[in-house]
Amino acid sequence: MMTIRLGLVGVGKIAHDQHIPTIAASPDFELVATASRHGSVEGTPSYSSIEEMLDGPETIDAITLCQPPHVRYDAARLAIASGKHVFLEKPPGMTLGEVAALAEQAETAGVSLFASWHSRYGAAIDDTRAWLAGTTIHSVKAIWKEDVRVWHPGQEWLWEAGALGVFDPGINALSVLTAILPRRFFLTDATLEFPENRAAPIAADLTYVDTAGVPVAAEFDFRQPGPHTWEVHAETAAGTMLLAKGGNELWIDGVLKTTAPEAEYRGLYDQFARLIAAGKSDADTTPLAHVTDAFLRGVRVPVEPFHY
């Protein structure tokens, strides 16, 4: 397959930390242009908007969108209408309806749309799914806790009405649960803690059950100082399982079974290349649907104000 010429929109922390080095190392992609209000990549043509980038002289085959989700739909719609394949950072949109509309537009335009969930590409995800499929699960609990000041410094958009708050990392846990568990699960109870001065939650306590009656729970918190916790615990007939480091280590009864260096974004770009080559899309919104259910059903509890 020929090299896919890529435009990157939104040159912020996640782009610098993950996308740019992954693209540079990929055999499938070449970064040929960027569009961002504040960031750029040395040696790569840069523009202040996606409109300017699309009007530039560079030939672009595909576009990765890394800007905040509340402005992503318009950019994705424009890219699709211009005949570009589109990679959506997580979450893929502000609403389920947005992503469904983009999927229809991509199909009509004959381009690939990829709603990426990076945690599903953790080194231990496949082994964990296979291990759980071979035993009887008694209970499952995801714990996703971190310090928002470390991981999202000064990102005020995260707290706006319609934004995800703690579900921005929490949706990673939901993407993992929906990847490793053998059956669908659904929400039965939820408590969401909202700072008095914010329109998005800072913590969430979620209770689920799967279609076989197995209890599934999740705890998300943006207020954990020090090291983060990104884990899934399961009690099963075959022993106690721990999926640690966001999906990159599998432990069974305290024994490490699977580990490898983090390569989630390499997995994402490999999948994007495969989708483009096959003329297919992958626009799964199941994790976002679980977030929507939490906002719909959750009891909102006010807590102390949050300030950076």
The residues that are catalytic are: 90
Q: What is the per-residue burial (b if ≥16 Cβ within 10 Å, else e) of 96-131?
A: eebbeebbebbeebebbbbbbbbbbbbbbbbbbbeb
CA angle, corner 68, sides to 72 and 280, nearest 5? 45
CA distance 277 to 271: 10
Sign of CA dihedral 106, 107, 108, 110: positive
Distance, CA of 95 to CA of 124 (rounded, Å):
29
How far apart are alpha carbons 209 and 115 in whole angstroms? 26
Q: For residue 98, what are the contacts with CB-CB under 8 A and spacing of at least 6?
A: 72, 73, 92
Q: Do 307 and 126 touch, CB atoms closer than 8 A?
A: no
Rounded to whole angstroms, the Cα distance separating 277 from 32 reads: 19
Alpha carbon 14 to its chain centroid, in Å, reads 11
How many CB atoms neighbour CB 67 within 10 A?
Answer: 20
Element (H, E) at 190: strand 185-195
Nearest Cα to 264, choosing from 124, 168, 61?
Answer: 124
